[in-house]
A and B are shown apart, each in its own frame.
Chain A
Amino acid sequence: MAQNAPPRWDRAMHLRLARGEAAALGELYDRYAPLVHGLAHRVLAEDAAADAITREVFARLWEHPDAYQPERGPLRTWLAELAHRLAVQRLRSTAPAGAAAARGDGGGAHERDRPGDHAGEQLERTVHRASAAARADYIVESMPVSLRAALELAYFRRRDCRQAAADLGITEDEAHRRLRLGLQLLATAHGSGPLDPPLGYDTPPDPADPSSNPGRTT
């Protein structure tokens, strides 16, 4: 449902939020809260922290609807970026040097730190792994259904290529192609470190930062 939302939906939602329609906020939450919460949870591996990020992401958009500009890209992407960025920020700020190792036990995303490393490096590694894991989730969710279905069959249901091809009604060659392409996309999750807001996006204002411009740049 949430995928391939027509930009028309984004535009209409933006207008309704700007008009202060509470019903629109509810619809927005219903569509994107699982995505936002899921990304935050992948980074932070903790329910309460993911809840807090979710609250902040929706509050920022509701408070400053014009921070999002539909012509610059999908709302889904904008929300995912913001969720990811806030979650990584929170991970950094709540994992002070030395405490980083303790953060590794919540979810599969975090690496146990090796003894002998500097705390700063440990934190960077934790952040990188958590960040990549969250990106990977987003990539899997956003990839075309054909690729995702092939990956799910091969990985989660442990079908081999022949079986997966039969399940999907495609040739084995096509199954090979989809698995490879899917993994190639997934590998991009290891890309750059902490996320910058993508080109063309205004950064939603940070209420803690008085110098931040509430998204009026054009």
Chain B
Amino acid sequence: MTDADHPQHPNGPYGADNPEKPNGSEEPNDPEEPNGSDHQDGSENPRDRPRCNNRDDRGQWDDQAGLESVRIPMQRTPAEDGGPLRGPAPSPWPQAPAPRPARRQGRTPEQFSHTALRSLLGAWALTACSPREAAAVEHHLGDCGSCAEEALRLRDAVGLLHPAENLDLAPELRPRVLAHCLGRRPPRVPVPDWAVPYEAETARLDALLKDIGGAEWHAPVRLRWYEHGRRVSRRTTVAGTVAHLLSVDGLVAVALELADPLGADTPGGLGPTKRTEAYWGASPVPPTCLVRLPWREQSRRLVRTVSFLAEEAAEPGAAGAPVSYGDFVLPLPDALLERAFECWIHAGDVAEAVAYPYGPPAANHLHRMIDLAARLLPAALARRRYDRAAPARAGAHARSLRLEIEGAGGGEWLVPLEGPSGPASEGAEEVAHVALDGVEFCRLAAGRIPPQDAMAGGTGDREAITEVLTAAAALSRL
């Protein structure tokens, strides 16, 4: 017999990465002939007759389990129950032992050679033959011990086919497994804690992308954000969304002096929107699933690079140059946190487009993201005032708003209302208190819900509350 027919795995079934070609040959020649005898096109080989007719002899030539004690199982259960079986009812072989005379009467069997029938065994075991072929195979099984043995084996193998289960690992498992590992052997080059949310969110999105099909990459996605107090949106696809992440993550790559995904000759100083449009516009065809790999590779490179940078940096958090977003700058840790936030939000867009459930980040990561947004609020408030040319409240005392975030990852933040350069919030008068859920706040800051729709409870100065919620929405952008 050839190796291709009975694949030999010297290392067991896990030993071969490509089990189809154990010896570089994949075409089965004559699988069941231990003596090398050749069944040619149904010619009656005298040596075969006793075998086929006398099952008691099988032990001599069949090294598989004794056939006396087993029988060909019924045709397979369909993957989904309830559907009609294709093809004919299974042959009750061997209980109905002898359609053999039919062979001599020269009906079906003559139309198929032994070789042809043998090649049909896989299809037969899967009930994928035409009724005529299935009938011929079943007839043949009553005659030919070697084919009967293989049919039994293959039918048995069909029972091992299971729908893949457990495709989605629980997202909580990853941090638990990693923490367990790192507890048993502390890393020499840890991922800095401010980079962990980015690492986790990119891994989570990648797991989602791995499972989506070719057509789903082109499912429509509408990206929404606020510009000058107005809600704007932009149509793209799942692949276009990932391309957007790739382009904007590139800002961090550039700051770290890594390769720019937009190409080396991309002008510096472009913000997220311009970079995304440059990437989308650089190719005549829309992005495809191929964008996943460069996005993933870049995100891994970023995590790896900042790990080494943080390790070399004298003081924690001092690693790396600040990241320029065109019209503003963030320190590297905040930039990576911002990218983690965007990754989650856009993963939500993708998940919605392909109707997949997608939960919020881990509570401690969510907390860091909320903290970043809360720290960015004063500048956003100041920008809004500047846009409206609102006069500074001359001579007024400093005011602040207490932002209470509920739920996992929540906390309390005092937001100075007079802008980042305003007086320190400690002495400021607390004029309002607003409470909302953490995920709700993030969706607001991502432009996914309008400020007037945010389910916020508040007391105090209504105008201040509206200002802050509107400023939170203004943190969003493409």
Q: CA of A218 to CA of B242 in the docked complex: distance in angstroms?
A: 45
Q: Does B20 contact A (CB under 8 A)?
A: yes
Q: A136 near B5 (CB under 8 angstroms)?
A: no
Q: A51 near B79 (CB under 8 angstroms)?
A: no
Residue in chain B with minimal CB distance to A147:
B20
Q: CA of A208 to CA of B12 in the docked complex: distance in angstroms?
A: 26
Q: Which of A155, A157, A184, A195 contacts B7 (CB 8 A)?
A: A184
Q: Does A37 contact B (CB under 8 A)?
A: yes
Chain B window 1-36, contacts with chain A (Cβ cutoff 8 Å), 1 for yes, 0 for no: 000111101111111111110000011100100000
Q: CA of A158 to CA of B351 in the docked complex: distance in angstroms?
A: 29
Q: Does B107 contact A (CB under 8 A)?
A: no
Q: CA of A198 to CA of B8 in the docked complex: distance in angstroms?
A: 13
Q: Does B258 contact A (CB under 8 A)?
A: no
Interface residues on B, range: 35 or more
Q: Which of A20, A77, A147 contacts B187 (CB 8 A)?
A: A20
Q: Does A74 contact B (CB under 8 A)?
A: yes
Q: Which of A77, A162, A173, A191 contacts B119 (CB 8 A)?
A: A173
B-chain residues with CB within 8 Å of residue A204 when the two chains form the complex: none
Q: How many residues of A contact B (CB 8 A)?
A: 88
Give me 11 other A-B pairs in contact (C-beta within 8 A), A23-B304, A30-B203, A73-B15 excluded: A19-B189, A25-B182, A58-B180, A77-B11, A139-B13, A144-B20, A161-B123, A180-B119, A187-B156, A198-B10, A198-B14
Q: Which of the segments B167-175, B367-375, B423-431 contacts the partner chain?
A: B167-175
Q: B154 near A26 (CB under 8 angstroms)?
A: no
Q: Does A96 contact B (CB under 8 A)?
A: no
Q: B12 near A33 (CB under 8 angstroms)?
A: no
Residue in chain B with minimal CB distance to A85:
B14
B-chain residues with CB within 8 Å of residue A47 when the two chains form the complex: 166, 170
Q: A62 near B184 (CB under 8 angstroms)?
A: yes
Q: Does B178 contact A (CB under 8 A)?
A: yes
Q: A179 near B128 (CB under 8 angstroms)?
A: yes
Q: B300 near A144 (CB under 8 angstroms)?
A: no
Residue in chain B with minimal CB distance to A39:
B14
Q: Does B188 contact A (CB under 8 A)?
A: yes
Q: Does A88 contact B (CB under 8 A)?
A: no
Q: B304 near A21 (CB under 8 angstroms)?
A: yes
Q: Does B94 contact A (CB under 8 A)?
A: no
Q: A161 near B303 (CB under 8 angstroms)?
A: no
Q: CA of A72 to CA of B305 in the docked complex: distance in angstroms?
A: 30
CB distance from A206 to the nearest CB of B (A): 13
A-chain residues with CB within 8 Å of residue B153 when the two chains form the complex: 184, 187
Q: B19 near A139 (CB under 8 angstroms)?
A: yes
Q: Does B316 contact A (CB under 8 A)?
A: no
CB distance from A165 to the nearest CB of B (A): 10
Q: Which of the segments B157-165, B260-268, B392-400 contacts the partner chain?
A: B157-165
Residue in chain B with minimal CB distance to A18:
B188
Residue in chain A with minimal CB distance to B180:
A55
Interface positions of A from 10 to 55, Cβ below 8 Å from B = 19-27, 29-30, 33-34, 37-38, 41-42, 47, 50-51, 54-55
Q: Which of A155, A159, A160, A191 contacts B158 (CB 8 A)?
A: A155
Evaluate whether A58 and B177 lie within 8 angstroms (CB atoms) in the complex, with A154-B126, A183-B157, A198-B15 already known: yes
Q: A26 near B161 (CB under 8 angstroms)?
A: no
Residue in chain A with minimal CB distance to B65:
A190
Q: Which of A26, A76, A109, A190 contacts B203 (CB 8 A)?
A: A26
Q: B189 near A22 (CB under 8 angstroms)?
A: yes
Chain A window 151-181, contacts with chain B (Cβ cutoff 8 Å), 1 for yes, 0 for no: 1001111111110100000000101111111
Q: A25 near B169 (CB under 8 angstroms)?
A: no
Interface positions of B from 280 to 325, Cβ below 8 Å from A = 300, 303-304, 307
CB distance from A196 to the nearest CB of B (A): 7
Q: Does B220 contact A (CB under 8 A)?
A: no
Q: Does A135 contact B (CB under 8 A)?
A: yes
